[in-house]
Amino acid sequence: MPVLSESLQGRDLGHLRIIAELWGIELEAPDARTAMQKLIPALLDATAVEALIGSLSPEVKLVLSDLARHAGRIPWAQFTRKYGMVREMGAGKRDRERPYLQPISPVEALWYRALVANAFFDTPSGAEEFAYIPDDLLPLIPAATGEAAPPMGRQASSAEYAQIFPVDGRLLDHACTLLAALRLGIAPPEVFSSPPSQLLSALTLQTLLATAGLLDDSGVPLPDPVRTFLEIGRGEALAQIMSAWMRSTGFNELRLLPNLKAEGKWVNDPLRARQTILGFLSGIPAGTWWSMSSFVAAIKQRNPDFQRPAGDYDSWFIRDERSGEFLRGFEHWDEVDGALIRYILTGPLHWLGVLDLASSTPEAEVTAFRFSEWSAMLLQGEPPRGMALEDEPLLVRSDARVRALSMVPRVVRYQVARFCEWEKETPDEYQYRITPASLARARQQGLTVGHLLALLTRHAKVIPPSLLKALERWDQHGSEARAEKLVVLRVSSPEVLQALRKSRAARFLGDPLAPTAVVVKAGATEKVLAALAELGYLGEARLDPGDA
């Protein structure tokens, strides 16, 4: 940051005399250059700085302290929005009205005392205007040394964490399900989690898996990375996704917010926002339940522009899909920026095992959070200790149904899922069924019944002999039975059926079932009844709609 001499560069003699007056310094100089040479050493005297700060009102001291705690630099838009403006006026009007004697804001009081200046600095997102304390003055400000910033928000009340939702690592199981669905080319479940955490949609999880390097550019699972991911322990797998998320520029939480739609070509920096929020969380004591609403409110008060370059609230076009309204301007901070904070805490940081969540009742929204037992390791990119081992066997029934309990190895369930129809999922198990269609689909992907038998032999508790025989027969002969829906014509005597076979409607008849019953080909029921009427026999159709 610039030093004091650079900050005062260009100030006229009248302005320098105002600074001297407010500091209690006698300044005799014929011009601004001479005044600067005399004034700056006096302003950098530690005793003088201490005396001046002691004369400030508590409100102005608080503002100066806040700026010092932020390493002496805060975006100008944020600083003035929070603490007030500096009136713009020329030298003549300033000398007539003397605004420094009755400043309209703490910022104006600090401005005329040369404790605060403003300038444009380079940032990763371009030049941005900042309020700052000059570099050589900053070490003399008491708040700049030793005083740590207080945590964002407050500790939660017991009512705010009456209902606890601990981390569970189920993201790994959902990932296994989605990878299998993508590999098979079938539709996955639309969502994978339930309130109070954010709903984890298939699209969001797919984006997370792509971030972790498990999918190609077309969204297809990459065989080797997926195999490794499914074979490693749950702790290592969770740490892999967590580390990828923490450094990702492609996982854009702002564009995943429920009920909001980003429009236009503007660009945000999700990595910057994510790292800033993680920085805010770092001040919260480990193991302490923390109020969600107070955390969000504290960020709004102390650092609202955490994701906005230069405090810009107008160029991002974000539409509320429920009302159709565009949420532009700082007045919509809670609906956009505040919602983003809540989303990251109740979404990725909960799914990935970092934050336990809590609410006042099971149905209420999240009102509190705390760091989980796994958080310290995960935030360092290390596998957490104490996660369950995946060592349960498959349960196979004689009716060709397969149950995979929650702690069946993920790589085993992934392989089983590729051979089966998917029937039901509960928090404790996944249910599948082996069918001729599922075996044929697996064969198209290069999988054989031999692969399935080897898999079941290694990982199933028992393989029923009847199922083993059925799989071997299917491998040799294919389907040996078929259940299908047919339209059957029953007539009163064999003579009626013989007459029909001699008519022009004969082509609509299928396999005979008895002397007085025959299959009617699909879609031909009305034609057959019409032909019978022409032969002198009236009939009726007793069918469900669409079966004719």
Q: Report the relative pairing of strands 429-433 and 421-425 from DSSP bridges.
A: antiparallel
Question: Helix, strand, or coil here: 517?
Answer: strand
Residues of the chain with pLDDT under 70: 1, 125, 143-149, 477-484, 544-548
The Cα–Cα gap between 429 and 277 comes to: 35
Residue 248, pLDDT score: 95
User: In 450-520, where do the E strands start and end?
Assistant: 487-490, 509-514, 517-520
pLDDT score recorded for residue 548:
56
Report yes or no: 341 and 299 within 8 Å, Cβ to Cβ: yes
pLDDT of residue 254: 96
Please indicate, yes or no, whether the overall pTM of this predicted structure exceeds 0.85: no
- The per-residue pLDDT for range 59-94, each reduced to its tens digit, is 899 899 889 888 889 888 888 988 999 999 899 999
Q: So what's the pLDDT on residue 145?
A: 45
> Are 144 and 120 a contacting pair, CB within 8 Å?
no
Task: Assess whether the previous peptide bond of 384 is cis (omega < 30° from 0).
Answer: no
